[in-house]
Amino acid sequence: MTSPSRAAIVLLLPLLVALSLPAYAQPRWHAGKTTRSPQTLALELRFSPFRPDIDSEPGLEGKPYESTFGTMPRLMIAGEADWQAFRIPHLGTVGPGVGVGYTNMSERAYLKRCIAKLANDKPKSTCESGDETSLDIWQSYMVAVVRFDALWHDFRVPIVPYVKAGLGLGFWQASTTGGLSISKTASGPVEGRGYTFGTHLAAGAALALDWLDPHSSVTLDQSVGINSSYVFFEYYMSNLNGLGQSEALRVGATTWAVGLAFEL
Amino acid sequence: MKLAKLLWVVSMLLVVIGAPRLASAQTIEITNKDSLVRLTPGGDTVTPRAVNGKAVNYADCVDNQRIRIAYKASGFDPNQTLEVWAGQQDCKPIEARNGTTQQCWRPHGDLPRQEVGTVEIPVRNIVKKRTGSSVVDSTGDPSVCSGIPLSTFSLYFMWFQGNGTLPISTDQVDVSVKTQGPGAVTGLSVAPGNARIIVTYGAAGEGGVTDQTSLRVYCDANPAATIAVTKQVLVCADASTSGDASDTGAADAAAEQPSDAGCVERTEVVTPSSECSSTVLSGAAADAGDSGASPPLPDDRYKCAEIGGALGSRVVVEKIGDEPLVNDKSYAVAIAAVDSYGNVGAVGAPLCVMPGETTDFWETYRDGGGGAGGCSVDAAPISTITCILPCAALVVGVLRRRKRKGGNR
């Protein structure tokens, strides 16, 4: 968890710097405000450290996820599109959004016969096989998004806080080198794939990059229709713990994300 | 006297002017130079390979293939012979076909004097260099196929009038031959998997093998023996060890001696996965190399995988022929590169490996009491529908909303 925390500090630094900068540049941007194109959509490219909550399943013995894939979070790459359907004056935009993401974790599998007779003084790595065991997770969600951009549009403070809330759905698949994992149970073999429902909550803040170079921002808007560009930091809870399901693999996570956002 | 001189001059003129005309009357033309056909000993036409398809490779030669050549001849008379000579230089000069300077040989007897004909010349007779003017049949000697680097052998079809003369008319066709395979592939390592073996090797070019179009893996399900090795290993308190104890091996601690820094040095008898011998694979490896001689390759029934392309460095073996690999059984594995002429190269030294059951996240989760995974294999059709239902509902919802929106406009 050390490296993600460091990354968070590095990514938050621009926000702090931005807040401490003098406001003399603001009037220059203000002059170009009237030339802005209509704004209806926000697109996000998101990156986040991701470690699913699989081991938190009630009744589970041991920590199958941690014992297989360790504690290192994996990279979740995601995209989100928000329709900014309504604008509430002096508050911000409101609208629905959808997001999809993907992550994968893969580790060397161990030879069972070796593990069984492994001496205490020997590292487990001596039992590594040529096989790999892996888990793929496709995350998706539908959320309502409120972006409080009045701070930026009305008061020239280049920070746009936002919140998101909605439902999530994760698809997952466990595999080995030989293909889809299949567990043999008393009631027959069970494939290692499925889906998990849950909720999705998020809160974050975006730094308006237009503020750094207002003229380029206006040019970008006039040429390709990008109203505003942001770098953002978000804390989110993907509670994919089986909402309405009796048994589910908990493939959600509570973590943070950083990325770029564009309003069109 | 004057008349006699005149007659002599006229006759000489006739000889000088007329002789070439008479000589040029004999013609020979090879009509399928661009589409030479190779035939199996049984007479079946060989389908050319996709790359370097016209060239003769080691397997073609060992297979005792023949090359069918079609020709047209004209203007011949009973005193003339139509001969075929082979060589890697110009066979028209007399000295190339005679005496101590002879560089060409006869791969086939005289051709019948006919206007249109075909001849089938054995590949082995083409590549086997020899002296003398008689035809020596090499079709019974597969050793002539070994170790020929990329070479061009020319076949000369020549009309002769009398022995030891220059040909009256000639035509030639070139045959490319390469029977020397690529060198041994380096960097072989094998790792056990669950009823499979994971084979990794150095990429093409790393071990001097540049012309590599595929890699062939040979497996022996009955290796001769694994080689036990005794090693000194240093075992420290933090569980790190300097030894290379292996999964597959029985590692028996024989003696322990305390040493510095809280570590214990001990002798272990290990049976590393990397050391074993195989009669069927090692026999081939013994003669392998770039020395020129083509090695006797393992029988095709030992081929357990072949991966195309030169970029790969990993192949997973799950079967030998139709037989799936079995866990907890030792296999010897060796690899060889295949070049763009289809020549299989030297087979490297075999390594042994024993597949076995491996851990799997899904199994660990289910064994720990995890209940997820509704997609039962037994109820595949129903479970598949259940699994895709949420997505389908989402798509239908979006489509209906769009339709409604379109209708309102």
Q: Residue A216, SS3?
A: helix
Residue B241 is predicted with a pLDDT of: 41
Assess A197–B contact: CB distance below 8 Å, yes or no: yes
For the cut 70, the answer to whether the pLDDT of residue B239 exceeds it is no
Q: Do B364 and A64 touch (CB under 8 A)?
A: yes
For the cut 50, the answer to whether the pLDDT of residue A25 exceeds it is no
CA–CA distance, B372 with B374 (Å, rounded to integer): 6
Q: Which of A106, A114, A251 to mutate to test the interface with B (most CBs of B within 10 A)?
A: A114
Give the residue from B147, B177, B207 where a domain finishes: B177
- Residue bearing the bigger pLDDT, B289 or B391: B391
- Nearest CA distance, A254 vs chain B (angstrom): 20
The reply to whether A74 falls in a domain is yes
Same structural domain, B103 and B218: no
Binned at pLDDT 50, 70 and 90, residue A216 comes out as confident
Same structural domain, B172 and B193: no
For the cut 80, the answer to whether the pLDDT of residue B303 exceeds it is yes
Q: List the single residue in B192, B369, B375 with the smallest CB-CB distance to A111.
A: B192
The reply to whether A195 falls in a domain is no
A183 → chain B, closest CA residue: B363
Domain of residue A71 covers 2-103+139-173+200-263
For the cut 50, the answer to whether the pLDDT of residue B291 exceeds it is no
Residue B400 is predicted with a pLDDT of: 63
Residue B7 is predicted with a pLDDT of: 62
Residue A15 is predicted with a pLDDT of: 40
In this structure, what CATH number is given to the domain that contains residue B295? 2.60.40.10
Q: Do A129 and B191 touch (CB under 8 A)?
A: yes
Q: Which of B360, B377, B398, B402 to mutate to test the interface with A (most CBs of A within 10 A)?
A: B360
User: pLDDT, tens digit, for every residue of A224-243?
Assistant: 888 899 999 999 999 999 99
The reply to whether B236 falls in a domain is no
- Residue bearing the bigger pLDDT, A219 or B377: A219
Same structural domain, B122 and B173: yes
Same structural domain, B144 and B221: no
Binned at pLDDT 50, 70 and 90, residue A135 comes out as very high
The reply to whether B16 falls in a domain is no
Residue B274 is predicted with a pLDDT of: 59
Q: Do A131 and B193 touch (CB under 8 A)?
A: yes
User: pLDDT, tens digit, for every residue of B60-91?
Assistant: 999 999 999 999 998 888 888 899 999 999 99
Q: Which residues in chain B are contacts of A191 at CB distance < 8 A?
A: 373, 375-377, 383
Q: Do B194 and A133 touch (CB under 8 A)?
A: no
In this structure, what CATH number is given to the domain that contains residue B35? 2.60.40
The reply to whether B212 falls in a domain is yes
Residue B175 is predicted with a pLDDT of: 94
Lowest mean pLDDT among A34-38, B41-45, B117-121, B372-376: B372-376
Give chain A's length: 264
Assess A122–B contact: CB distance below 8 Å, yes or no: yes
The reply to whether B54 falls in a domain is yes
- Residue bearing the bigger pLDDT, B378 or B119: B119
Lowest mean pLDDT among B28-37, B265-274, B289-298, B319-328: B289-298
The reply to whether B222 falls in a domain is yes
- Residue bearing the bigger pLDDT, B221 or B375: B221
Q: Give this complex's ipTM.
A: 0.83
Query: Can you give the C-alpha Rg of chain B in angstroms?
Result: 35
Q: Residue A154, SS3?
A: helix
Q: Burial-class residue A93 by CB neighbours within 10 Å (0-12, 13-18, 19+).
A: buried
- pLDDT cut 70: percent of chain A above it: 87
Same structural domain, B150 and B221: no
Residue B234 is predicted with a pLDDT of: 65
Residue A180 is predicted with a pLDDT of: 94
The reply to whether A255 falls in a domain is yes
- Nearest CA distance, A166 vs chain B (angstrom): 14
The reply to whether A143 falls in a domain is yes
Give the residue from B312, B337, B353 where a domain finishes: B353
Q: Do B361 and A133 touch (CB under 8 A)?
A: yes
The reply to whether B11 falls in a domain is no
Assess A154–B contact: CB distance below 8 Å, yes or no: no
The total domain count for chain B is 2
The reply to whether A121 falls in a domain is no
* Mean pLDDT computed over every residue of chain A: 86
- Nearest CA distance, B219 vs chain A (angstrom): 17
Q: List the single residue in A111, A134, A196 with the smallest CB-CB distance to B358.
A: A111
Same structural domain, B132 and B109: yes
What count of other Cβ atoms lies within 10 Å of the Cβ of residue A165? 15
- Nearest CA distance, B375 vs chain A (angstrom): 6
Q: Which residues in chain B are contacts of A125 at CB distance < 8 A?
A: none
Most confident of A178-187, A199-208, B22-31, B369-378: A199-208
Q: Which residues in chain B are contacts of A246 at CB distance < 8 A?
A: 371
Most confident of B50-54, B85-89, B110-114, B263-267: B85-89
Say which residues have a Cβ less than 8 Å from residue A179's Cβ, sequence separation at least 6: none
Q: Which residues in chain B are contacts of A120 at CB distance < 8 A?
A: 239
Same structural domain, B116 and B223: no
For the cut 60, the answer to whether the pLDDT of residue B246 exceeds it is no
For the cut 60, the answer to whether the pLDDT of residue A4 exceeds it is no
The reply to whether B79 falls in a domain is yes
Q: Do B194 and A195 touch (CB under 8 A)?
A: no
Say which residues have a Cβ less than 8 Å from residue A135's Cβ, sequence separation at least 6: A52, A65, A69, A104, A105, A106, A172, A173, A174, A175, B361
The total domain count for chain A is 1
Q: Which residues in chain A are contacts of B383 at CB distance < 8 A?
A: 191
Same structural domain, B342 and B193: yes
Residue A147 is predicted with a pLDDT of: 95
Residue B296 is predicted with a pLDDT of: 63
Question: CB of B28 within 8 A of CB of B169?
Answer: yes
Assess A143–B contact: CB distance below 8 Å, yes or no: no
Q: Write the CA distances from A185 to A157, A182, B77, B310, B376, integer angstroms.
A: 59, 9, 89, 42, 10
Binned at pLDDT 50, 70 and 90, residue A146 comes out as very high
Same structural domain, B64 and B98: yes
Residue B17 is predicted with a pLDDT of: 52
Same structural domain, B112 and B213: no
Lowest mean pLDDT among A24-28, A218-222, B397-401: A24-28
Domain of residue B289 covers 189-227+271-353
Residue B119 is predicted with a pLDDT of: 94
The reply to whether A33 falls in a domain is yes
Same structural domain, B206 and B133: no
Q: What single letter denotes the amino acid at residue B406?
A: G
CA–CA distance, B242 with B233 (Å, rounded to integer): 6
Binned at pLDDT 50, 70 and 90, residue B154 comes out as very high
Assess A236–B contact: CB distance below 8 Å, yes or no: no
Q: Do A129 and B193 touch (CB under 8 A)?
A: yes
Compute, in degrees rounded to 10, the torsion defined by CA atoms B193, B197, B202, B207. 150
- Nearest CA distance, A36 vs chain B (angstrom): 27
> What does the pLDDT average to over B314-318?
91
B238 → chain A, closest CA residue: A121
The reply to whether B403 falls in a domain is no
Question: CB of B133 within 8 A of CB of B165?
Answer: no
Q: Which residues in chain B are contacts of A176 at CB distance < 8 A?
A: 194, 358, 360
The reply to whether A40 falls in a domain is yes
Q: Do A177 and B357 touch (CB under 8 A)?
A: no
- pLDDT cut 90: percent of chain B above it: 36
- Residue bearing the bigger pLDDT, B246 or B222: B222
> What does the pLDDT average to over A91-111?
95
Q: Do B368 and A64 touch (CB under 8 A)?
A: yes
Residue B298 is predicted with a pLDDT of: 77
Q: Write the CA distances from B133 to A150, B77, B84, B129, integer angstroms.
A: 102, 22, 11, 12
Same structural domain, B37 and B84: yes
User: pLDDT, tens digit, for every residue of A65-96?
Assistant: 999 999 999 999 999 999 999 999 999 999 99
Q: List the single residue in B195, B247, B363 with the smallest CB-CB distance to A111.
A: B247
Q: Do B361 and A64 touch (CB under 8 A)?
A: yes
Q: Which of B363, B388, B389 to mutate to test the interface with A (most CBs of A within 10 A)?
A: B363
The reply to whether A129 falls in a domain is no
A55 → chain B, closest CA residue: B365
- Nearest CA distance, B376 vs chain A (angstrom): 5
User: pLDDT, tens digit, for every residue of B182-232?
Assistant: 888 888 899 999 999 999 987 665 656 677 888 899 999 988 765 555 666
